[in-house]
């Protein structure tokens, strides 16, 4: 399998999980089935990687940075939610809120313990990818999660585990926040969708919607659209005006929008064949 095939595997898994959520009402049954699905996909990926390897270092980096963590994070998330709800106290609301807040603190502690790598991930950097996402490069004296690479050197770099855990914890923190809101009688919509492309790609869409007057008959401001986008896709824009200037200065000013048109057109053309 190549990375294109792996991406297709992720899409199929996400579609199956989405269907599972609508078909399964029992929470315990849902999480158990989701964990089983994710674990099964991980096993297939492991067999493929060990058997076939990679054609290049670039392909290996892409797999351990963009493929394995996305699937593993789903397994981690459902496992964490299952454990969280299994040990959640049955007492009053205050006791439950305290329990959830303590778990949220554990998440913060893990992120803080991996702060440098977390910032590397959030800033979409690539300069140390050859260290983080190639096998055989980690030192257990420096990075605790490298124990997973030593235990399974052909299918882990250590940091792919850390990245998957961070991604799962981001989703889990949203889940916990929503559960606390429910207990406090202030339930609020929390999206489980995460924008995984660079932020500048998202802003191409935001500005297009604004300039096309596609939201609220053109009465929505670019800030309002950006904030809605942030909430829906769990993304944070730092400077939308500065980023627009950055877009204008690129040789390919709207590269992501062009890419969207290309992939959609290709899909339609393929269906016509």
Q: CA–CA separation, 234 vs 232, rounded Å?
A: 6
Per-residue model confidence (pLDDT) at position 144: 60
Distances (CA, A) of 101 to 10, 11, 46, 189: 31, 33, 35, 19
pLDDT at position 189, please?
67
**Of 175, 166, 220, 155, the residue nearest 196 (C-alpha):** 166
| Whole-number pLDDT of residue 229 | 92
Please provide residue 212's backbone torsions phi and psi, each rounded to the nearest 5 degrees: -80, -5
What residue segments make up the domains of the chain, in order of their start?
Answer: 3-183, 199-272
Looking at residue 79, what is its pLDDT?
A: 95
Residue numbers of the chain with a pLDDT score lower than 70: 1, 138-151, 186-189
pLDDT at residue 187, as a whole number:
55
DSSP 3-state of 156: coil
Cα distance between residue 185 and residue 59, in whole Å: 48
Provide the sign of the torsion angle of the four alpha carbons 141, 147, 151, 153, taken in this order: negative
pLDDT for res 126: 93
> Which tokens hold the place of 242?
């500065």
3-state class percentages of the chain: helix first, strand second, coil last, to nearest 5? 75, 0, 25
Express each pLDDT in 7-17 by its tens digit.
889 888 988 88
pLDDT, position 242: 82
**What tokens were used for 17?**
């999980």
Closest CA to 239 of 219, 222, 216, 256: 222
96: Cβ contacts below 8 Å, ≥ 6 apart? 88, 89, 183
Reduced 3-state DSSP string for 4-29 = HHHHHHHHHHHHHHHHHHHHCCCHHH
């Amino acid at each position: 399998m190549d990375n294109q095939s792996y991406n297709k595997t992720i899409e199929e898994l996400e579609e199956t999980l989405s269907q599972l959520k609508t078909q399964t009402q029992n929470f315990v049954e849902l999480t158990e089935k989701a964990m089983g699905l994710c674990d099964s996909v991980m096993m297939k990926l492991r067999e493929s990687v060990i058997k076939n390897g990679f054609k290049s270092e670039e392909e290996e980096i892409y797999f351990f940075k963009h493929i394995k963590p996305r699937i593993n994070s789903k397994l981690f998330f459902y496992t964490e939610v299952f454990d969280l709800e299994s040990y959640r106290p049955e007492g009053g609301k205050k006791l439950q809120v305290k329990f959830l807040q303590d778990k949220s603190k554990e998440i913060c502690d893990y992120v803080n313990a991996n702060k440098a790598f977390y910032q590397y991930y959030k800033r979409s950097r690539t300069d140390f990818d050859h260290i983080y996402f190639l096998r055989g490069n980690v030192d257990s004296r420096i990075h605790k999660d490298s124990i997973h690479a030593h235990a399974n050197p052909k299918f882990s770099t250590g940091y792919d585990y850390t990245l998957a855990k961070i991604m799962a914890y981001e989703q889990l923190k949203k889940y916990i926040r929503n559960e606390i809101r429910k207990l406090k009688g202030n339930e609020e919509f929390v999206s489980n969708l995460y924008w995984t492309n660079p932020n500048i790609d998202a802003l191409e869409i935001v500005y297009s919607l604004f300039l096309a007057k596609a939201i609220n008959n053109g009465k929505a401001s670019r800030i309002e659209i950006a904030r809605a986008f942030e909430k829906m896709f769990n993304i944070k824009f730092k400077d939308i005006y500065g980023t627009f200037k950055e877009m204008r200065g690129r040789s390919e000013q709207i590269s992501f929008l062009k890419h969207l048109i290309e992939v959609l057109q290709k899909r339609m053309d393929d269906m016509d064949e």
